[in-house]
Amino acid sequence: MLELVERLPPDQRDAVTARIVDERDYAGIARDLRCSESVVRQRVSRGLRALKVRLQEQQ
């Protein structure tokens, strides 16, 4: 799974890692990434969607 996360675009990878692996809140991630919470939510959503597709492709 971590290998798949590493293949994500950097902005999505950073957001997904912070949210899922580090279990951080959106506000804190937004501060660190210097963007809005809505951008972080979008990046996490897109990253998770991409991971889901890749996992399905491997089955």
* φ/ψ (deg, to 5) at 46: -65, -40
Q: What is the model's pLDDT at position 19? A: 97
Angstrom distance (rounded) from CA 37 to CA 40: 5
- 27 C-beta neighbours (distance < 10 Å), count: 11
Domains parsed from the chain with CATH numbers:
2-58 (1.10.10.10)
Find, among 56, 57, 29, the residue nearest to 12 by Cα. 29
How is residue 35 annotated by DSSP?
S
* Percent residues over pLDDT 90 in the chain: 93
Amino acid (one-letter) located at 30: A
pLDDT exceeds 90 at position 59: no
